[in-house]
Amino acid sequence: MAKHPKSVVITGATSGIGFAIAEHLAREGWLVFPGYRSDDDAKDLQGLGPQVHPVKMDVTQRETLEAARQDVQSHLGARRLTGLVNNAGIAKLAPLMLQDVDEFASHLDINAVGALRASQVFGDLLGMETTLTGPPGRIVTITSMGGELASPFLGAYTASKHAAESISDSLRRELIVYGIDAIVVGPGSVKTPIWQKAKDADAAEKFSDTRWGKPIRSFLDGMVKGGENGLEPQEVARVVETALTARNPKARYAPVPNKLRSFILPKLLPKRLVDRGFWSQYDFPRI
């Protein structure tokens, strides 16, 4: 009997890390269900190969996730889903004291609550439905270095990633009763267009006449430079495959460039010392 291919649903798969995951796993023989929101976004996904079946979904709208689940199940039949990769997310720069609260809330709704919605909807296919065949699946949530290390001007983003990490930990500790695992992949700087798009849109201009004008401009320049020198999205995709397939996976993977300096040490140092590092690096005026 022919062995069935491993299968995966990926939210937010039309660009950046999500697209790289879809491309990599399709090349490795997986049955891939990459998520997209608009029909125009699906075009590039359709070119990834015959084992790729784009599914329309919006993680803020449960009904679209339910429809996508039915589509995926029609391909899987009585087999379980190998993995769900929660990748959909947004990141908008702003000082927290000036950021529109609805914009802040949208980060939580997409980056954290959206991951929970998708996990709930696809939970049956991952193993909560006991009549399906095959081993229980895994939930891999893409967070960020910011999921453990908050930075200025990305408070909404890092808050949502902190929340997503906590959700993943709780899911892992609860889903043991079904054999479903929940794992975090928290990358550092990755070569994706997200920060250049923010700079091209002049995301800092609206705050230029505030005391945060110069620091936020410096911060955005640093983000763009970090992206230019960051990991290739394909490197993150390989880590995701490891998280989905390793016999004894870690609870959290951290593919971070310059890991000791940019991630490990800031987590170990006193927070007040890390504060001073941010203030110095990004030209904060001191009163």
Residue 188 backbone zone (phi > 0: left; psi -120 to 50: alpha; other: beta):
beta
Find the catalytic residue in 36, 157, 253, 282.
Answer: 157
Catalytic (active site) residue 157: yes
The two tokens of residue 57 are 């979904």
For the four alpha carbons of 196, 200, 206 and 209, in that order, the dihedral sign comes to positive
- Concatenating the DSSP letter of every residue in 223-241 gives HHHHHHTSB-HHHHHHHHH
Amino acid at 190: V
Among residues 131, 153, 233, 168, the alpha carbon closest in space to that of 199 is found at 153
CA distances from 4 to 222, 238, 243 (A): 45, 21, 20
Q: What amino acid occupies position 198?
A: A
Distance, in Å, from the CA atom of 176 to the CA atom of 167, rounded to the nearest integer, reads 14
Tell me which residues are annotated as active site.
Answer: 157
